[in-house]
Structures are given as structure tokens and as C-alpha cells.
Structure 1
């Protein structure tokens, strides 16, 4: 560890500030009109990356309205999760494409 980095860490610990681990990036594929995996777990702060492998546009649309990510054909879309809960989502263009995202604190 570089000498210049030790002071901020010590200061954070003395002030009771938590030093969090690096957030994860979780990949979800949309291919052949399916969302895979259909059930994913994440933590607040993680990034969800949807990869649209189809030649059709898709969305990742939360049923409760918390997010709506547009996914053009052969492109990716991302979302940083900011709150805990279980979020059922689907594709607005292909409502039979359904999945669930469970986010823990």
C-alpha cells in the first residue's frame, strides 16, 4: 500500500466510517426471447448489466416502476441498484420475458 493511502483509511476508521468492498457487476443475457438467469441476487451498489444478444429491442422494466432500461439489438444497458428489495421485471415489447432481481442491503 502506498504511504499516501494509509492516512485516509486510518481517518475513516477513527471516524467510524465504513470502508466498503468493491461493488460487483452482474451480467444478465437476453437471448432467443429469454432472460438468463431469470433469478438474480445482488447487493445495493452493484451494477446490473443486461446484454441483449437478440436482433430485437428489449427492455428491463420493473413492474413497480423503479427502473426501465432500454436495450437496443446487440447492445447492453446498465443499472446501479440503489435500494434493497425484490424487483419483478419484464420486457415491455415481449411481456412473456420475465425475471426477478433480489437486492440485499
Structure 2
């Protein structure tokens, strides 16, 4: 391989790696028996929250600040990528007693 081509490949690999979040995680939260579990989760910007609805009725994961509103059909999953730090309270629009909180670090 010529040194020019080698440098171009090295630059692509280096800059390509920088575009991908280094430690992004997928965090699973379960909705079952009209309860969100766990009800408090710590995460980071770039992480994905995946809600799993194990109930036979629909739920939502609706952020009070408007950051997300995920519809969860019975026995289905839905997700959202966290885009900004802060504390986000969320609930199910169909069952307002189902409440939870995300603490999102930068």
C-alpha cells in the first residue's frame, strides 16, 4: 500500500471512530402490571432508552418537558435516544399513575 493511501485509510479510521459515541448504551425499562421498572434510571447523552411493554394494554413514555413521546403497543417495544442532559420526568398518558424519571449526564 502506498504511504498516501495508508495515511488516507488511517485518517478515515481515526475520524470515523470519533463520530461514534464511545460509550453509548441501550438501557431497558419494563412496563408490566401498570408499573415502570426501574422507576429511576441514570443514563448519558447518546444512550438509547428501550421501553418494553409486557402488558396487554398500550402505554406511552411521555416526557413532561416534551423531549420524547413514545407509543408502546401491547407486548411491543419502543425507544428514544437521549439528546440532552438533565432530569426528565415521564409518564404514561393512558395511565398517569405510571411515572418514572431519567437522570441524564452529559
Distance in 1 of aligned mates of 2:95 and 2:61 = 10
User: Are 2:73 and 1:69 equivalent residues in the alignment?
Assistant: no
- 1:37 paired with 2:24, answer no
Please tell me the root mean square deviation across aligned C-alpha atoms, in Å: 2.4
Secondary structure in 1 matching 2:11: helix
State the TM-score, normalizing by the size of structure 2: 0.83
Structure 2: how far apart are the matches of 1:94 and 1:11? 47
User: Aligned pair count?
Assistant: 99
- Runs ≥4 in structure 1, deviation > 6 angstroms? none
Post-superposition offset of 1:65: 1.5
Q: Which runs of 5+ in 2 are unaligned?
A: 1-5
Aligned counterpart, 2:90: 89
- Show CA shifts across 1:20-42 (max 9, x none): 41410000000000000000011
Point out the structure with max Rg over C-alpha.
2
Cα contact 2:90–2:99 (8 A) shared by 1:
yes
Whichever structure has more helix as a proportion of its residues is 2
